[in-house]
Structure 1
């Protein structure tokens, strides 16, 4: 048995005010479990994306999250759950004026190949992107895989990524 206090887990560098990965602290081997708090404008993910082998479920505890999907936008209110199948593109946001709290569960634990699509101003379209740790060690940076232009940079608790 493992037990943790969510507030005791370190906040990750994400496009969300708070993202605490509970997977390792709980010793999970087959399931990814993350706790999120999204301020207005925050996102669950760095980009519109999919996972090759992992299905993903979001349980909204408070507020309303809006998910961008291939079929259009889907709102998920407190007490509701949404599931995305393997290779299904999605990105969740807080488009409201109130805090969103949610749990994200993914299984199996591994993603497999992941496609991440972000808008590149140089290419003029949404292109695949690569995420890397910033040289400062305190950020995550997205680069367009077509032209290598930086398309986003996040710091702990930052919003969707400032583009220089």
Structure 2
């Protein structure tokens, strides 16, 4: 049995600087089968660097304090349905998650959670859980961003470089660039 005080867990931030406080609880306690991260998001900060999905992992977010907004993007075959005959969908939407609420994203569902508080005085405190696996399999993460070569928003594979930045590669044309 292991336990840890959340404030004793070292802060690790995203290479893109999208949040100032992220404490990887699963790393501190040596989890092997699921991920658990604690976040404090100031207005404008986000849980992740952008709209993304984990093809091999479901994600659950619990908002302990404040209100988080999740941008979602539905594509054909998203989520647990795996129904390739479903009509194509290319729809962005937003869902708010209040303190005490939980939201789940199935593998393949694109999402980005952030603090959208316009007043500038509300911090979002929450936890992100992912299973299976305590660490990212970078080959199973896909980000939805604009491709300059294809001139449209498309899926991009993600690779963490030795320098701690992200290499994004368009799944359609193979164009690659580094951010962070």
Q: Same fold (TM over 0.5)?
A: yes
Deviation of residue 104 (structure 1)?
A: 0.7
Contact 1:134 1:141 in 2 (8 A): no
Unaligned stretches of 5+ in structure 1? 154-164
* 1:102-141 correspondence runs (5 A): 102-109=126-133, 113-120=140-147, 123-127=150-154, 128-133=156-161, 135=163, 139-141=164-166
The structure having more radius of gyration, on CA atoms, is 2
Deviation at 1:142, TM superposition (A): 4.6
TM-score w.r.t. the length of structure 2 is 0.73
After superposition, residues 1-164 of structure 1 pair within 5 angstroms as 1-14=1-14, 15-70=18-73, 72-96=93-117, 97=120, 98-109=122-133, 113-120=140-147, 123-127=150-154, 128-133=156-161, 135=163, 139-145=164-170, 146-150=174-178, 152-153=179-180
Q: How many residues align?
A: 149
State the TM-score, normalized to the length of structure 1: 0.79
Structure 2 gap ranges (5+): 75-92
> Are the counterparts in 1 of residues 157 and 169 from structure 2 also a CA contact under 8 Å?
yes
Note the C-alpha offset of 1:49: 1.1
